[in-house]
Structure 1
Amino acid sequence: MKKKLFWIAVGQFISACAYCQILNANDLVATGIGGLAAVINRLTGADVQMLLIFMALPIFIWSFFSYNKKQIFYAGFSYLMFTFYVGIVNRYLPPLQTDPIAAAVSGGLVGGIAGGIIMKQRVANGPESIVALYLKEKKGISIGTYYLILNTVVICSSIIYGNVTMIIYSLICTFVQSAVTDKLIIGFEKYYNVSIMSDQYLEITQFIQDELKRGATFIQGMDTSNVKKKMLIQSVLNQQELIAIRDYVKSFHDDSFICASRSNSIIGRGFDVE
């Protein structure tokens, strides 16, 4: 638990730096309540830190009586850290003002790293996440749909103070942030679910086990072109291993067949993608 809280705190400090020093400093709109607070701040001059607190408070009060207490605890701690760090960063760290494209990319990169660190802890990271989980479990609304609607409304709300161009840069920032977060969670290694139909199934399986150090599964199949029984080999390989098995199978110069499809979720020994 202490380790999880530590990484949440680290992630939220990075997130606060991206929010205050890059996004707000360059008139980009963040997603979620943070983005809405920034919009209201630019319209009214109200303190961002206080806006974050008052906007989230009703959600936490509602969720306390309506939802999982463990998730509320982590979401509350996570949001508390972010709000606390926003005050610290705004007061002691200088804004990093740059051109909009650089701000969109760097803000998305830093925010994505923060999001990846927090989401790896598998907890709700704020009031928006609690609502998303509640709608998914109780109403059948997917988390992706919820965030798409919420973030579109928040980002487009910046048109109120006449900054239409910044909407585009804010959307670019959101895309970069989402891509970086996904990479940190899923991993940078690409894995493939490989199916091989060949008469040389024993040799190929031996190569997979001895040279590639991977497992393989046999499934009995039939080649409909000549109505001949063949053994289908299935294995999960990374990109380099896929190239190696492709070249090995091609060396037989027969009618062996390989089909590979990208796999994004692998759980088990020998793989670090979840």
Structure 2
Amino acid sequence: MKKKLFWIAIGQFISACAYCQILNANNLVATGLGGLATVFNRLTGADVQLLLIIMALPIFVWAFFSYSKKQIFYAGFSYFMFTFYVGIVNRFLPQFLTDPIAAAISGGVVGGIAGGIIMKQRVANGPESIVALYLKEKKGLSIGSYYLIINTVVIFSSIIYGDMTMIVYSLICTFVQSVVTDKLIIGFEKYYNVNIMSDQYLEITQFIRNDLNRGATFIQGMDTSNVKKKMLIQAVVNQQELIAIKEFVKSFHDDSFICASISNNIIGRGFDVE
């Protein structure tokens, strides 16, 4: 629990830096309640921290009677740390003022790092997550669709005081942030699930085990073109190993067949992608 809280606090500090010192400083709009707080701040001049609290409080009160206290605790702690850090970084850290495209990319990268750190803790990271969970359970709306809708509405609401150019840059920032977050969660290395149908299955398996140091699985298969039994080999390899397997199988100059697809969420010996 202490480890989760530590990394949530670190992630939200980085998130607050991206929100205040990069996005808000360069007139870009963040997603979620942070983005709404920015819009209302620029329209009314109200304090951002106060707006964040006012918008989140009703959701947490409702959620307190609807969901487990553990889930609400983590979501509340995460949101509290973000709100707290917003006030700190606004007062003590310098703003990163630059051109819009540099702000969009740098804000997306820093925000994506923060999002990846928090999401790897597998907890709700704020009131938006609780609403997303409710809509998924009660209305059948996927979490991805919910975030797409709410973030689009938030960003385009800034047209009230801004222009379309800044909206485009804000969308670029959101895209970069999602890509960076995914990479931190899934990993930068690409792995492939390889299926090989060949009469040379013993030689290919020996190559996979000895030369590539990967495991392989045999599955009894049937070639429907000549109704002949063949052995299907399955293995999970990285990109460089996939190239090596292709070249090795091609060297037989026969009718061996290879099918490879990208595979995520790999857990086990020799792999560290979760």
Please list the CA deviations of residues 28-81 of structure 1 after superposition, one character each: whole Å capped at 9, or x if unmatched. Answer: 000000000000000000000110111100000000001121111111000010
- Residue 217 of structure 1 corresponds to 217
Superposed CA RMSD: 1.0
Q: 2:8 corresponds to which residue?
A: 8
TM-superposed deviation, 1:150 = 0.4
Q: 1:239: which partner in 2?
A: 239
**Displacement, 1:212?**
1.6
Give the structure-1-normalised TM-score: 0.98
1:244-263 CA-partner distances (Å, limit 9, x unpaired): 11111112121111110111
Deviations 1:223-265 (A, max 9, x none): 2222221111111111111111111111212111111011122
Asked if 2 retains the 8 angstrom alpha-carbon contact of 1:16 and 1:86, the reply is yes
**Does the 8 Å CA contact 1:28/1:169 hold for their aligned counterparts?**
yes
Matches within 5 A, 1:27-38: 27-38=27-38
Alignment-mate amino acid for residue 185 of structure 1:
I
- For 2:21, the equivalent position in structure 1 comes to 21
**Contact 1:11/1:117 (CA < 8 Å) preserved in 2?**
yes
Match of 2:188 in 1: 188
- Segments of 5+ residues of structure 1 without an aligned counterpart are none
Say whether the 8 Å CA contact 1:67–1:134 is kept in structure 2.
no
Alpha-carbon distance in structure 2 between the residues aligned to 1:251 and 1:24: 58
* Offset from partner CA, 1:75-114 (integer Å, 9 cap, x none): 1000010000000001111211111000000000000000
What is the TM-score with the length of structure 2 in the denominator?
A: 0.98
Match of 1:41 in 2: 41
Q: Gapped runs of 5+ residues in structure 2? A: none
Moved more, 84-93 or 258-267: 258-267
**After the TM superposition, which parts of structure 1 deviate over 4 Å for at least 4 consecutive aligned residues?**
none
> 1:158 and 1:166 mapped to 2: Cα distance?
9
Q: Which amino acid aligns with 2:144?
A: G
Cross-structure match for 1:122? 122
Q: What secondary structure, in the 3-state scheme, does the structure 1 residue paired with 2:6 have? A: helix
Which residue type is aligned with residue 237 of structure 1? Answer: V
The answer as to 2:151 corresponding to 1:151 is yes
Q: Secondary structure at the match of 1:260?
A: strand
| d(CA) in 2 for partners of 1:214, 1:134 | 42
Counterparts of 1:94 and 1:162, CA distance in 2: 23
For residues 146 and 90 of structure 1, do their structure 2 counterparts lie closer, same or farther at Cα, with a shift above 3 Å needed? same
1:157-172 equivalence runs, <5 A: 157-172=157-172
